[in-house]
Structure 1
Amino acid sequence: MAPPADTPPADTAAERAAFYDTIRPQSLTPLWEVMAGLITPEPQSGCRPVHWSYPAVRPHVLASGAIISAEEAERRVLVLENPGLAGLSRATTSLYAGLQLVLPGEIAPAHRHAQTALRFLIEGEGGYTTVAGERVTMRPGDFVITPTWGWHDHGNLGDGPVVWLDGLDIPMIQLLDTSFAERSAEKARTPTEPPGASLARYGSAMLPDETPPGQTSPVFHYPYDRSKAAVAAAPLDACHGRRLRYVNPLTGGHAMPTMAAYLQAFDAGFETRPYRATDATVFCVAEGEGESEIGGETFRWGPGDVLVAPSWAWRRHRARTDAVVFGFSDRVVQEKLDLWREDRGNTP
């Protein structure tokens, strides 16, 4: 029987193997042997659809408080590691996510790093973070930004535990080899701005004559009650429900240079149409219950749950009750590189 048409004759295969052995010491490899895996017709990510039930993981988050202090850990976080990316501390190929715990009276010491970070509060009252000299008190559903190389610390002035979702662009910074970090000599930075200063200054449809440098929004704190009210007034989209993105008020663009963040709402009984996009997305349920079909798998969710939709995986959401869901992705980077695309199926 003759070998398949794409199989070289034995003598040719041996000749090629010998050639590869010859060039290997020179750190050379043949592109034609690997090109099909490097340039694929569609995204082929190791990232998998995954769902973390908050009621299931919460006991472990709280138990970590007895294992190590916030000060010793610097940041006491349980990483939400995608099972398809085991050992890499990644929720998607480009994004990191974790659940951070701060107990009453604790301070997570001040530091700064090249990575941009976001927080979405899941549970607790009295938690705060200090960013750009302003101390921000957080409530469930609040969205907070920590810009690249900005000093920040966290604390808890309340009576119970505070838990929030962390999102960072760590994999992107690793890819670019641009990671820097520094700990402050002060355990907690002294506030230099009054509470609510950034929101009042930049989030009231007014701006000062001089605007701050950088690509990150000067508004560091997006209160949930304001964001939820805005989303409730948004037009209905068949693929997203009612959805708005968090923006930089100076530009109208995304709030952060490396991560896009959204808040979307579903009325009880609403079911989105099938949708997929190239930006893998991390979702966190602010309130309500429902289920999502992602990449052929169905996950039932409730408050505090976290889900991942991989790049180019079909997704659809069904709300059992009125629901609000936060999400973040690397869409802003893909847009800057003219790479982002979406597929709305048969939906206009």
Structure 2
Amino acid sequence: MTETPKSEKLSSFSDKVTKDNIRPLWDVLSTLVTPEPKSRCEAALWKYNEVRPLLMEAGGLLTAKEAERRVLILENPGIPGESKITTSLYAGIQLVLPGEIAPAHKHSQSAFRFVLEGGDGAYTAVNGEKAYMEVGDLILTPSGTWHDHGNESDNPVIWLDGLDIPIVQFFDASFMEHHTEDEHPHVKSDGDSLARYGSGMLPMDYEAEMPTSPVIKYPYSRTKQILNKMKETKDWDPCHGLKLMYVNPSDGKSAMPTLGAYMQLLPAGFITSSYRSTDATIYSVVEGNGKTKIGDKILEWGPKDTFVVPSWHHHQHIADSECVLFSFSDRPVQKALGLWREDRGNR
């Protein structure tokens, strides 16, 4: 009698135990523990001149209040249908039209708003501070903070939303609450938190209540001033040009514990050295034109465009003119867990 081959026995065994919600590790070990990161995400680019008309069309279909948040999600083409731009992060483009209010709510997810278009009367209010928005400003809406958006101007305001939704989903830790009114009471004026906490001084009795920056708005006017001053030294990092991190002024760490936010400047003609890191990174172009080579793919970008570099993908930025790039990633989480790694070409 011919003995059944071992491979058939193993296959039969796997089929049998799987019915009992059990799986043999040897069937899946190579996909669970890989020699290097194997991201499902792809390099992708969203051109602002293509996204904006769709957003304005949505603006004619429903109000900000009806939608609660009128946003077009930027979905990574490698993971369609998951509402993610990377496996750990969410990004979307939000529109608030003149006279509208996006109602107040709060949630477990940490978020930021990076302004792409508008201002001059548009605002985000966070825990009572009414922060007026200008292009290039970064506004934080930390976990558990009441926030609403409004537009007192005559023009649309559009911004990039970044949230840690997939991280919170991973932990099954999502909570959300709607305020009884459209607006949480606005009791602090624009710039209050920046004056209190972001000028190299802190109130004598200040004690951090959570590991998030107490500063609500980081104005682009200040950020650009810092970049312009630093570029005088011409001390360019070969992989990043000039790159700054938005920090919590009370401890010098990332402004939010799950979302790292950065701003960098590349001089005209600068080509960065090949670089990769374990944190997939989302970029928003503030100023200038250029391109990014990611593996064999080349993404050509200009102001207000958004693009993503997946985890552990070699990439280079090429600045056709002087460029300013905003970016964000999950680097603070990876560093806290001891997982973050970079490759600057010196393997």
Q: For the superposition of Structure 1 and Structure 2, which TM-score range results when normalised by the shorter chain?
A: over 0.9
Counterpart of 1:239 in structure 2 is 239
What's the offset of the Cα at 1:212? 3.2
What's the offset of the Cα at 1:296? 2.0
Aligned partner of 2:162 among 156, 167, 172: 167
Counterpart of 2:84 in structure 1 is 90
Map 1:121-132 → 2, pairs under 5 A: 121-125=115-119, 126-132=121-127
Counterpart of 1:3 in structure 2 is none
Partner amino acid for 2:79?
Answer: L
Map 1:312-323 → 2, pairs under 5 A: 312-323=312-323
User: Does 1:73 find its partner at 2:67?
Assistant: yes
Partner amino acid for 1:20?
Answer: S
1:189 & 1:123 partners in 2: Cα distance?
24
1:51 & 1:295 partners in 2: Cα distance?
14
Counterpart of 2:199 in structure 1 is 204
Aligned partner of 1:134 among 129, 137, 157: 129
Distance 1:21 1:241, change over 3 A: same
Any conservation in 2 of the 1:232–1:242 contact (CA below 8 Å)?
A: no
User: Does 1:215 find its partner at 2:202?
Assistant: no
Map 1:30-179 → 2, pairs under 5 A: 30-125=24-119, 126-179=121-174
Partner amino acid for 1:329?
Answer: S
Any conservation in 2 of the 1:122–1:304 contact (CA below 8 Å)?
A: yes
Partner amino acid for 1:292?
Answer: T
1:260 & 1:295 partners in 2: Cα distance?
24
Counterpart of 1:226 in structure 2 is 222
Any conservation in 2 of the 1:280–1:310 contact (CA below 8 Å)?
A: yes
Map 1:8-19 → 2, pairs under 5 A: 11-19=5-13
Q: How many equivalent residue pairs? A: 339
Gaps of 5+ in 1: 1-8
Distance 1:21 1:298, change over 3 A: closer
Q: Give TM-score scaled by structure 2 length.
A: 0.95
1:25 & 1:309 partners in 2: Cα distance?
39
Map 1:213-292 → 2, pairs under 5 A: 213-234=209-230, 235-292=235-292
1:270 & 1:23 partners in 2: Cα distance?
57
What's the offset of the Cα at 1:113? 0.5
Aligned partner of 1:25 among 10, 19, 40: 19
Secondary structure of the structure 2 residue equivalent to 1:83: coil
Greater alpha carbon shift after TM alignment, 192-201 vs 250-259: 192-201
1:116 & 1:265 partners in 2: Cα distance?
26
2:12 & 2:301 partners in 1: Cα distance?
55
Any conservation in 2 of the 1:296–1:314 contact (CA below 8 Å)?
A: no
What's the offset of the Cα at 1:58? 1.1
Let me know the Cα RMSD of the aligned residues: 1.3
Any conservation in 1 of the 2:127–2:184 contact (CA below 8 Å)?
A: no
Partner amino acid for 2:320?
Answer: R
Residue-by-residue CA offset, 1:117-161 (whole Å, 9 max, x unaligned): 011000012210000210000000000110101000001111111
1:118 & 1:128 partners in 2: Cα distance?
13
1:159 & 1:111 partners in 2: Cα distance?
25
Any conservation in 2 of the 1:295–1:309 contact (CA below 8 Å)?
A: no
1:241 & 1:217 partners in 2: Cα distance?
26
Counterpart of 1:5 in structure 2 is none
Any conservation in 2 of the 1:110–1:188 contact (CA below 8 Å)?
A: yes
User: Does 1:189 find its partner at 2:150?
Assistant: no
Any conservation in 1 of the 2:99–2:150 contact (CA below 8 Å)?
A: yes
Secondary structure of the structure 1 residue equivalent to 2:19: helix
Partner amino acid for 1:223?
Answer: P
Secondary structure of the structure 2 residue equivalent to 1:34: helix
Kindly report structure 1 stretches of 4+ aligned residues shifted beyond 3 Å: none
Q: Give TM-score scaled by structure 1 length.
A: 0.95
Counterpart of 1:336 in structure 2 is 336
Distance 1:346 1:27, change over 3 A: closer
Partner amino acid for 1:19?
Answer: F
Distance 1:223 1:28, change over 3 A: same
Gaps of 5+ in 2: none
Partner amino acid for 1:37?
Answer: T
